[in-house]
Amino acid sequence: DTHTLIPSDMPPGICSQYPDPKQIQGNIQTFICSQEYLRHYYNLKKEQPLARIKRYLPSFTSKVKDMQSFFGLNTTGSLDSETLEVMSTPRCGVSDVEDYSHNNRVNRWNKNVITYSIGRYTSDLPHSTVDSLIESALSVWARASTLTFVRSRTQRADIMVEFATFEHGDAYPFDGAKGTLAHAFGPGEGIGGDAHFDDDETWTAGSKGFNLYLVAAHEFGHSLGLRHSQNPESLMYPTYKSSRSSHNLLSKEDIAIINSLYGKEETIQQIQILNNKCSADLSFDAVSTLGDATFFFKDKYVHPPCPINNFMPKIESKIDAAFWVPRRSTAYLIHESIYWTVKGSIVKGKPKPISNFGFPPWVQEIDAAVHIVKTGRTLFFIHDIYYSYNENRRVMDAGYPQYISDDFQGLNTIIDAAVYKDGFIYFFVGPQVYKYDYTQKQVVGNEKANTWLGC
């Protein structure tokens, strides 16, 4: 307990000066550089110079475990060789646990045309090569979204690109060769969006040194509002990988996130409405129970707002209608003329044509579907008509289609979504939900769709 921690302002890059982590295991310098790493990337609080080690070690160990968990290592809390190897790997200077944006509330630009400008260049490459690599790195994100990047010759661009060394005016000094390669700030005014590259690195257009195109593409992800990913396949993984292919840089996760931030304008508005779950305009494309949970689909998203293919990777499109058959523990998700069979969150096999249910060829899309447990029937709603499907015999009932208005008194409109709960059918029509008593054959209640999200 009489030992004190040696105070140090050593940058995290000190770790990268030891190519073999085994050489520094147990060394006091290891402890010092790992402190700096955890302060910079995992929010380890800086202790007073005479802090006693017994009081300090629990928080230090906790942050080591956080770092090990992020990188998928064994969460031992000790500085083993595997942990030190990751700590000594050159990486992005953005924190893995905190939002590095200029103002912590903004996570996207409120426009789809983004300007950029290159200030100080590196002497490692010709200016024309730097220009080309920066343009190519931005194009990675442009191809996966509706974003357009326009070069500006002024100092007032959204994304300012600079090469600098050590302290360079933003309170995040660089650390010399290796260690921190670059950092960028999330969307916002002033320094927001800017990307800085450590000019003590050796910047190249190939496999030697550090490939500017690969590092810049990662940093521009931050400039656009993306955080670090724990997925090693993601471009937004924090450590540098020289083996990464220069083609198809973005993982499915990267593409899903950039699309959720910068989709088509109408999609953005819908995401914002979904994020504001208590909006009076909230509406859904499909609603279904899956087990004990209820899922709300809108465009290519499922509430709470995340891309459907994050939850069900095989599904890349929006869902028009969905229903749950409890005795099979199976959900059916319909998009236009095809449907997927889902158990849990596992999509079974390939999509099948809705003609399997017995629809005539002219039926190419479904507005809503709902399974009635009491009768064993699934009802499919299409414009002003509906069909009844016998789930036991797996055939369409005779005498259909029928008009919705004839059999569902009080519903004289196209149905957006429907779900069966506690003996009632709930019909979603725009932001309204009609509670329908299937036994009495009448609407017995009316509420806003947002009440289903606790509003």
Tell me: the pLDDT tens digits for 23-57? Answer: 444 466 677 778 888 888 888 876 544 445 555 56
Q: Is residue 331 part of a domain?
A: yes
Which of 152-161, 162-171, 239-248 has the weakest average pLDDT? 239-248
The pLDDT score that the predictor gives to residue 287 is: 93
- pLDDT of residue 304 exceeding 70: no
Is 228 a known ligand-binding residue?
yes
Please report, for the domain that includes residue 211, its CATH number: 3.40.390.10
Pair (379, 231) in one structural domain: no
**β-strand partners of 434:** 427, 446
Q: Answer yes or no: is 117 within a domain.
A: yes
- Tell me what percent of the residues of the chain surpass a pLDDT of 70: 83
Secondary structure (3-state) at 354: helix
pLDDT score for 126: 95
Q: Which of these, 175, 174, 169, lies nearest to 190 by C-alpha position?
A: 169
- Look at residue 218 and tell me whether its pLDDT is greater than 90: yes
Q: Is residue 322 marked as binding?
A: yes
Bridge partners, residue 448, by sequence: 432
Q: Residue 238: pLDDT above 90?
A: yes
DSSP 8-state class, residue 15: G
Which pLDDT score, from 0 to 100, does residue 67 have? 92
pLDDT score of 247: 66
Residue range 175-199: mean pLDDT, rounded:
91
In a domain, 103, yes or no: no
Any domain includes 4:
no
* 380 found inside a domain: yes
Residue 184 reports pLDDT greater than 50: yes
Site of tokens 């447990």: 373
274 lies in the same domain as 144: no
Active-site amino acid positions: 219
CATH number (domain holding residue 384): 2.110.10.10
Calculate mean pLDDT across residues 244-272. Answer: 72
The answer on 185 and 129 residing in a single domain is yes
How large is the average pLDDT for residues 151-180? 88
Average pLDDT over every residue of 119-123: 94
Same domain, yes or no: 232 and 330: no
Neighbours of 45 (CB within 10 A): 11
Average pLDDT over residues 185-197: 92
Q: Which two structure tokens, joined as six digits, stand for 126?
A: 């010709």
Q: How far apart are CA 172 and CA 213, in angstroms?
A: 22
pLDDT for res 358: 93
| Residues 286 and 346 grouped into a single domain | yes
Tell me, yes or no, whether 212 and 156 share the same domain. Answer: yes
Cβ atoms of 43 and 98 within 8 Å: the answer is yes
In a domain, 100, yes or no: no
∠ at Cα 226 (268, 134), nearest 5°?
Answer: 105
Q: Is 92 annotated as a binding residue?
A: yes
Domain boundary residue, one of 28, 57, 89: 89
* Residue 124 labelled as part of a binding site: yes
Which domain covers residue 188, as residue numbers? Answer: 113-261
How much is the pLDDT for 336? 87
- Kindly state whether residue 1 falls inside one of the protein's structural domains: no
Q: Tokens 């990988």 sit at which residue? A: 241
Query: In this structure, what token pair is assigned to residue 15?
Result: 């770790």
pLDDT of residue 28: 66
How many domains would you assign to the chain?
Answer: 3
Same domain, 164 and 61: no
Structure tokens at 187: 């969307």
| Domain match, 274 and 256 both | no
Kindly state whether residues 247 and 329 are assigned to the same domain.
no
383 labelled ligand-binding: no
Three-state DSSP at 184 gives strand
| String of DSSP letters for 246-300 | SSS---HHHHHHHHHHS--HHHHHHHHHHHSTT-TT---SEEEEETTEEEEEETT
Question: Is the same domain home to 165 and 251?
Answer: yes
Q: Let me know: does 329 contact 291? Beta carbons within 8 Å.
A: yes
SS3 127: helix
The answer on 321 and 366 residing in a single domain is: yes
Strands 330-335 and 338-343: antiparallel
**CB-based burial label for 414 (10 Å; 0-12, 13-18, 19+):** middle
Domain-ending residue, one of 261, 294, 317 = 261
Q: Which of 231, 261, 291 is the last residue of a domain?
A: 261
Kindly report the CATH number assigned to the domain that includes residue 28: 1.10.101.10
Determine whether the annotation assigns residue 170 to a binding site: yes
Helices and strands of the chain, counted as H and E runs = 9, 25
Closest alpha carbon to 39 in 98, 89, 86, 84: 98
- Rounded distance between C-alpha atoms, residue 98 and residue 171, angstroms: 16
138 burial level (CB within 10 Å; 0-12, 13-18, 19+): buried
- Running DSSP on this structure, what letter comes out for residue 421? E
The confidence score (pLDDT) of residue 3 equals 29
Q: pLDDT exceeding 90 applies to what percent of the chain?
A: 43
Average pLDDT over residues 173-185: 89
Output phi, psi for 132, to 5 deg: -65, -40
Mean pLDDT of 355-378: 92
| 20 inside domain | yes
| Same domain (yes/no): 327, 236 | no
